[in-house]
Structure formats: C-alpha cells, structure tokens
C-alpha cells in the first residue's frame, strides 16, 4: 500500500502517519510489538502478520491496529522434511532511540519466556530452553 513491502513494520507504517491514517500511538504500539516479537524469537513477522481495521477518526477515514496474531517463537518451528535443528536465541540490544520501547517489550518477552518455562503442558526440553532464553534476556534488562 505504501511501497514498503518486506520492510520492518515500523518503517513501513511510519509512511501512514503524515496521511493521518495512523496515529503516533499506533506507531508506538507497532514498535513495541515488533520488538517483542524479536525478543520472543518470532522470525516470521512478515507484512501479512500486521493488520488494520478501517475506522472513522473525527469523521475522517483512518486505520486502527487490529488485534495482534501469529506471535510465537517461530525460530523453533520445525522445518518441513528436516529434523528440528538446534537454534540459538540471540536477543539484540536496542538502538538508543528505541531504548524505552525495547525495555517495555523486553519485560513482556521475559514474562512470556518465564510463563512458558513454567507451563506443564510444554515438554521438558522446550521448557528448559524457555528458561534459558528468559535468563539470557534478563541479563540484558
């Protein structure tokens, strides 16, 4: 829609701000969600995984961010026809301008990893991996 297919969500969506179709609040949410996805090892955050709903804002057509979906640690998804390879979780520190949003996303991601590590419905090996990922992320906070 804005000629930014394949770019990070925030970069692509920032082009909608001057049009009035998105608000700065929407962009801040998109940034936190993008960072959260990176911090939970979601390697599948493509253009089709961010959606909007048409709305009227003060009588003017605009977009509202739709509920977030398909947000999971795809780094660990099986590859078709291949045994599950061992993958390394490597969370990245933020750029200085992203520090505040990154910290909020990192706290949420840490909750994700700790909750998964304690969930008895998840197999022992993956729960240990989740615990290790939470420990690694907590060292960066």
Task: Give pTM, 2 decimals.
Answer: 0.90
Q: Would residue 58 show up in a list of annotated catalytic residues for this protein?
A: no
Beta carbons of 36 and 108 less than 8 angstroms apart: yes
- Give domain limits for the chain: 9-74+98-140
Give the residue-averaged pLDDT of 130-134: 98
The SS3 call for residue 65 is: strand
Q: Identify the pLDDT of residue 5.
A: 67
Beta carbons of 140 and 91 less than 8 angstroms apart: yes
Give the Cα separation of 22 and 29 in Å (integer): 11
Structure tokens at 71: 């947000």
Q: How confident is the model at residue 110 (pLDDT cuts 50, 70, 90)?
A: very high
Alpha-helical (H) ranges within 40-123 are 99-118
- The torsion angle over the Cα atoms of residues 88, 89, 94 and 100, rounded to 10 degrees, is 180
Beta carbons of 37 and 49 less than 8 angstroms apart: no
Q: Identify the pLDDT of residue 8.
A: 85
Structure tokens at 75: 């780094």
- Catalytic-labelled residue, pool 44, 47, 125, 135: 44
Residue that the structure tokens 């009035």 belong to: 20
pLDDT digits (tens, 9 = 90+) for 50-101: 999 999 999 999 999 999 999 999 999 888 777 777 889 999 999 999 999 9
Residue 64 CA, distance from chain mean position? 18
């Amino acid at each position: 829609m804005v000629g930014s297919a394949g770019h990070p969500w925030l970069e692509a969506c920032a082009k909608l701000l001057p049009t009035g179709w998105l608000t700065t609040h929407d962009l801040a949410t998109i940034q936190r969600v993008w960072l959260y996805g990176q911090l939970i090892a979601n390697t599948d955050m493509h253009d089709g995984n961010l959606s909007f709903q048409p709305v009227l804002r003060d009588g003017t057509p605009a977009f509202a961010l739709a509920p977030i979906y398909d947000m999971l640690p795809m780094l660990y998804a099986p590859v078709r026809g291949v045994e599950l390879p061992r993958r390394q979780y490597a969370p990245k520190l933020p750029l200085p301008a992203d520090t505040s949003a990154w910290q909020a996303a990192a706290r949420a991601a840490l909750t994700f990893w700790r909750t998964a590590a304690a969930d008895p419905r998840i197999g022992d090996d993956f729960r240990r991996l989740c615990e290790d990922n939470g420990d690694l992320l907590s060292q960066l906070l």
